[in-house]
Amino acid sequence: MRNCKKLLDEPGRVAALRRYSVLDTPAEQPFDKLTELVRNVLGVSFAAVSLIDEDRQWFKSVAGLSAGETPRDVSFCTHTIKTREPMIIPDATLDARFSKNPLVTGHPKIRSYLGVPLETPDGYNLGALCAIDTAPRTFNASQIEIMKSFAALVLNELELRQIAMSDALTGALTRRGWVAMAEKEMARRLRDGTEAAIIMFDVDHFKAVNDTYGHPAGDGVLRTLSQRCVAELRQGDTLGRIGGEEFAVLLPGAGAREAMIFAERLRRRFSEAPVDVGGRLLWITASFGVESIGEAGPSVESWLAAADRRLYEAKAAGRNRCFGG
């Protein structure tokens, strides 16, 4: 039996959605093809890939309607994600949950709805694939199965996007994926003044590890340190592999002081236990640079560059330490 507790874990669900790094991204052909297929095959007015964030419904793709997002409290799909099964509404005007919904009483005059949850492999519903009509109608068993198949294809596309933005060795985001997440935090800062900070860290004397013990040993060091870092992250924090042995941690909502405390905790976690590489124990340290978004320049790259300067100050001061602005 699938874990129903995941349906009640809203913080975990939102964190899972953000791991896919898909919110507020441009239109992509695979998703647009799928929503157009749903619209044509089921003969409905609109079809959408709806993703449910904390307080909004954001559309990765919509066919038949010009819409980017809606408040979550008027979303039909926010009800769909509370279940493992498709949600069917033959006539929204006769359903007490939706009869006074502004999307029913006003534009776009929704009357009928079929939504299938977009469930991740670990059991979180990110949103729904939905078919919507402006006339009352029922959906038969065959149409529901077709929608389930299309929903599986949507989730598969999301998984492929995530794989493309994940580093194969460490599981961290690639630079591209991490920068996309950081750009969202910069946009949030401009919108509502939210704090954020980044920590960059670099493995000390990593070249010597590769030269002395070989590249497989170096790979083992990077994997282990990444795992130790992930174990310390809060929900919503993001680890990215920015370069060879250089990583960045994005800390939404954290100020400079909180980020420095976190960096120091990571530094101790790395240095206080050896890394087991094929039975050989290697004592590894790292240097850390911390920069808050308030001190950052106008772009993610300038933010990274500022943190990178702090990192190299830490290295110049003797390594295995944290420097921040």
Cα three-residue angle 208-213-219, rounded to 5 degrees: 85
Using DSSP, how many helices (H) and how many strands (E) does the chain show? 11, 13
Q: At what angle do helices 141-164 and 29-42 cross, to 10 degrees?
A: 180
The segment(s) of the chain belonging to CATH 3.30.450.40 are 5-163
CATH architecture of 175-324: 2-Layer Sandwich (3.30)
As a whole number, mean pLDDT of residues 235-239 equals: 89
CATH class belonging to 5-163: alpha beta
Question: Is residue 213's pLDDT more than 50?
Answer: yes
- Strands of the chain (E only): list them: 46-52, 56-63, 69-71, 87-89, 112-119, 125-133, 196-203, 238-241, 246-252, 275-277, 280-282, 286-292, 322-324
Please check the confidence at residue 163 and state whether its pLDDT lies above 70.
yes
pLDDT at 45: 98
- The span from the CA of 71 to the CA of 292, in Å, is 30
Residue 166 · residue 173 · CB < 8 Å: yes
Sequence-ordered list of residues with C-beta below 8 angstroms from that of 276, at least 6 positions apart, any chain: 220, 224
pLDDT-derived band at 296, boundaries 50, 70, 90: low
**What DSSP letter does each residue of 162-188 carry, written as one string?**
HHHTB-TTT-SBPHHHHHHHHHHHHHH
Query: Would the pTM of this model clear 0.85, i.e. be above it?
Result: no
**Model pLDDT, residue 181:** 87
DSSP state of 233: P
Residue 1's pLDDT band (cuts 50, 70, 90) = very low
pLDDT value, residue 193: 84
The average pLDDT across 98-123 equals 97
* pLDDT above 60 (res 311): yes
Residue 2 has what pLDDT? 54
Confidence of residue 161 (pLDDT cuts 50, 70, 90): confident
Q: What mean pLDDT do residues 194-213 have?
A: 95
Chain mean pLDDT for the chain: 93
Closest CA to 284 of 198, 213, 197: 213
The residues of the chain that CATH labels 3.30.70.270 are 175-324
Task: Check whether 297 has a pLDDT greater than 70.
Answer: no
By CB neighbour count within 10 A (0-12 exposed, 13-18 middle, 19+ buried), where does 262 fall?
buried
With cut-offs at 50, 70 and 90, classify the pLDDT of residue 3: low
Q: What are φ and ψ of residue 249, in 5° steps? A: -115, 125
| Contact (Cβ atoms closer than 8 angstroms) between residue 76 and residue 46 | no
- The CB-based long-range contact list for 142-147 (8 Å cut-off, 24+ gap) reads 143/42, 143/114, 144/86, 144/88, 144/114, 144/116, 146/41, 146/42, 147/38, 147/42, 147/86, 147/114, 147/116
Hey, which residues are catalytic here?
Answer: 245
As a whole number, mean pLDDT of residues 75-82 equals 97
